[in-house]
Chain A
């Protein structure tokens, strides 16, 4: 008796099945990426500080926008929001090389390695002493150790920086965004964008100077392989040009 060959499977409807799958994926997925500016919200404080710290006017880069979407940067009315980034760069760089008490920009301090070493030792001693005090609040101990960590970060930074002194902008210098409730989100996002652009440009310049590669390259590479060297590089750039933003909640 002759053996019949195995009947072939009809693959004619394979395409239909594939099409179904394809259409399913087309419908349920999206190609657009999510791009955003990440900001942190300050922690809520229960106790009102009765005696808030005075901040010198020169240390504030105030960007204001009103309900009619008009802009003001450092008490100067601006019509073109694209210029905000230039103002922010000016704010950071004017006194960077040489302090000038006459102008209205934040001061820089040039801190040497010896000074950092001394600071680190003093901070460590202070933290250890505080820990020994009976009945001390753990928050205070944490706070002291944070100071030690900050000094340690500076130490790492100057070693990587490779120069005699580390320029450091005044600790209070910050960019402040004040808007009104009715300000369009478009303008608010534009302000954020301009600030981000300014910071990027500053860090990029420093990165090119010190490491010979762009800030974008370093951050992208760090995002991929999370290497320790890149982390240190980014930390140094963050100490040189800290991104301190304050977004003031609008009252009206």
Chain B
């Protein structure tokens, strides 16, 4: 009879996970502070050109103070093909337009209605006159600039006189 009994098979002790929630919460708070909410997911593909000395649109946000529009090729290949056939490679997309009529999303003549609707929907505390409400155009680098001027013309008609051309700041300061 040996003095040393064979060690009984013991299960490996479980990892203490009691601080896991703390870690995850820390991550959560980091992301809550460091990010801002998306204004919308455009259904056109936009890769922005680069530029320097830009104005930061971030201080203006809450982003709802700025109205965004996008110019690019549709993400949906079937729709892209359909419009390309009609000679419209690059299309305009306005955020927060009802999705029920997808073709409305890409219509230049809808700009006025869209802009005025957005202006009416703004809360009281953002009571800037429509002249100074920024319309930010995010255009794909390959888009023809003529579209920009078509948009400007439409905005001019309704007296929305501040426009911003979005670029990606390549950050050499």
Contact = CB atoms under 8 A, between A and B. Distances in A.
Interface of A: 11-12, 14-15, 17-19, 21-22, 25-26, 28-31, 33-44, 179-190, 192-193, 196-197, 200, 216, 223, 247, 249-250
Given A11-B18, A18-B25, A181-B144, A36 B55 contact: yes
B34 interface: yes
A33 B58 contact: yes
Contact of A189 (B24, B157, B167): B167
Given A22-B28, A26-B31, A35-B51, A186 B164 contact: no
Contact of B31 (A11, A29, A42, A180): A29
Contacts of A38: 55, 134, 162-164
Given A36-B136, A39-B163, A39-B165, A44 B156 contact: yes
21 contacts: A12-B17, A22-B31, A25-B31, A31-B36, A33-B56, A33-B169, A35-B51, A35-B54, A37-B55, A37-B167, A38-B162, A43-B159, A181-B145, A185-B143, A185-B144, A186-B49, A190-B51, A193-B167, A196-B52, A249-B149, A250-B145
Interface in B132-173: 134, 136, 139-149, 152-153, 155-157, 159-169, 173
A36 B145 contact: no
B87 to A, nearest CB: 13
Contacts of B139: 185, 189
Interface in B45-89: 48-59, 61, 63, 66, 71
Main SS class of interface, B: mixed
B1 interface: no
A250 B55 contact: no
A58 B159 CA distance: 32
A43 B157 CA distance: 9
Contacts of A31: 34-36
A193 B18 contact: no
B112 to A, nearest CB: 13
Contact of A21 (B28, B141, B147, B173): B28
Contact of B161 (A17, A43, A182): A43
Contacts of B152: 41, 247, 249
A29 B173 CA distance: 26
B53 A185 contact: no
A36 B21 contact: no
B21 A14 contact: yes
Contact of A29 (B38, B51, B136, B162): B38
B2 interface: no
A185 B25 CA distance: 43
Contacts of A247: 149, 152
B98 interface: no
A185 B142 contact: yes
Nearest to A65: B145
A249 B153 contact: yes
B15 interface: no
5 closest A-B pairs by CB: A181-B146, A193-B51, A29-B35, A34-B57, A36-B164
B37 interface: yes
Contacts of A40: 161-163
Contacts of A185: 49, 71, 139-145, 147-148
B20 interface: yes
A11 B141 CA distance: 51
B6 to A, nearest CB: 34
**Most chain A beta carbons < 10 A, residue from B35, B59, B157:** B35
